[in-house]
Amino acid sequence: MTVTGWNSELCLKCNICTAACPVAAVTDQFLGPKAAGPQAERFRHPRATVPDPSVSWCSGCGVCSRVCPHGVPVAELNILAKARLASQHPHPFRDQLLARPSLLAAVARPLAPLANALLGLSAARALAEAALGVSRHAPMPRFASATFRSSVPQLHARTPQPRSGRPLVAYFHGCSVDSYEPWLGRLTLQVLEAIGFDVVLPPQGCCGLPLQSNGLLEGARNYARTNLDGLGPFAAANVPIIGTSTSCTLALKHEYRAILGLAGETADQVAEGTYDLFEFLLEGDPSPLTRAALQSLPLRVLYHPPCQLQGHGIGWPALEALRRIPDLDLVLSESDCCGVAGTYGLKRERYDVARGVGEGLFDQVQSSGVDAVVTDSETCRWWVAGHAGVRAIHPVEILATAMGLPGASALAPSSIRGHEGPRP
């Protein structure tokens, strides 16, 4: 799929997208997805009209595209307009930095404890806000001292060679697992291996979505091409590509072709062969998840489906999986978006809007008496934990705990209860 101007002609100006837009609901700076997207697209020309600056306030959450009754790719039109607007001016160093989380982590890794300590100091955060424009109030992830990939070198593979008689799957872990949450990658390996799969790690890098979100489309294309080269042999051999970041898997499934304009057999095969972890675990009859013996887990948790997961159009597979765990008390999020939208909420000028979008979710978390928040997106987890003061975890952490896997011992109910995430 490639987004072109003619798609805008399908817009009937019903304003359903504007009514659903979480950003337009909290700020007048954004004219709304209809006005900034399909309506304005009719007047844009490659050599003429510069997009209205209002479009820069779009967070790219994708709600508008999902609710459009006529199938107009509203979010995609806005993302491309944002990129064109950004190209008119030099990209701020702040945006260049935030758009490369793997590079940022690589620089900080040798001194990870010191870097993490500095992130916790209000004076250091105030300096970063003044010098770079990164909000002092925005929760930030902690750098890992070693990458996930470095802990499992035996799983690196460039070609889909079977290692045993068990089915093979390729894990696209993304930069969040590799550089910030390596334990999540190890738990994912344990879960997949426990239910009968061999797991390999193809060559890969950042999915490129942070670059795309900051209007750096050519840089995002370079990352995307690298990933397509690394994943292509596995997709061609019908080896499932599985991800635990809904943003990464949406990039592979949709963004590479729809936003970055990458076409060809490899891009199609990778898109069709990519699965969210829980989408994969529930596929088929019987599904792989039926092989897991799930123990009682007496916890009360709130499940929040992130925007990028909803963009997959696969429902909420993690929620379906969690419902199979005995004694797990599930509360459903009443919010469409947590507000952070990747790097959007980290920016000084966007922080208040991002927090305003998530305010309803934070209030629900604090009033519902849950032990933890469960959500599939890493940036959602960091954002919610930092603002609601409750631990936020990936659904695979809950699943691994219910399966009794040794790597999940730190997620016993006694360790989850009473935990408070960092407050801004």
* CATH at 28: 1.10.1060.10
User: Rounded distance, CA 80 to CA 68, Å?
Assistant: 18
Residue 387 lies in a domain: yes
**For 30, which DSSP code?**
S
Question: pTM of whole model > 0.85?
Answer: yes
Residue 165 lies in a domain: no
Residue 202 lies in a domain: no
Return per-residue pLDDT of the chain as tens, 424 residues. 444 444 677 888 898 989 999 999 999 998 888 877 777 766 655 545 667 788 889 999 999 989 999 888 888 888 888 888 888 877 889 999 999 999 999 999 999 999 999 999 999 999 999 999 999 999 999 999 999 999 999 999 999 987 888 999 999 999 999 999 999 999 999 999 999 999 999 999 999 999 999 999 999 999 999 999 999 999 999 999 999 999 999 999 999 999 999 999 999 999 999 999 999 999 998 999 999 999 999 999 999 999 999 899 999 999 999 999 999 999 999 999 999 999 999 999 999 999 999 999 999 999 999 999 999 999 999 999 999 999 999 999 999 999 999 877 555 444 444 333 333 3
Last residue of a domain, one of 45, 67, 87: 87
Q: How long, in residues, is the chain?
A: 424
Residue 385 lies in a domain: yes
Angle between helices 265-272 and 217-236 (to 10 degrees): 70
User: Rounded distance, CA 66 to CA 47, Å?
Assistant: 30
What pLDDT does residue 46 have?
Answer: 55
Cβ pair 337, 22 in contact under 8 A:
yes
Last residue of a domain, one of 64, 87, 110: 87
Residue 363 lies in a domain: yes
Whether a cis peptide bond, with omega within 30° of 0, leads into 424 is: no
Cβ pair 65, 32 in contact under 8 A:
no
What pLDDT does residue 228 have?
Answer: 98
Residues with Cβ < 8 Å from 60, sequence gap 6 or more? 75, 78, 79, 82, 213, 341, 342, 344
* CATH at 377: 3.40.50
Last residue of a domain, one of 87, 116, 133: 87
User: Rounded distance, CA 199 to CA 169, Å?
Assistant: 5
Residue 142 lies in a domain: no
What is the span of the domain harbouring residue 24? 5-87
Cβ pair 77, 37 in contact under 8 A:
yes
* Number of separate domains in the chain: 2
Sheet holding 372-375, edge to edge: 329-332, 300-304, 372-375, 392-393
User: Rounded distance, CA 252 to CA 207, Å?
Assistant: 8
Residues with Cβ < 8 Å from 295, sequence gap 6 or more? 326, 402, 403, 404
Residue 366 lies in a domain: yes
One DSSP character per residue, 298-357 reads --EEEEE--HHHHHTTS--HHHHHHTTSTT-EEEE---S--S-TTTGGGBTTTHHHHHHH
Residue 183 lies in a domain: no
Closest of 241, 246, 146 to residue 200, by C-alpha: 241
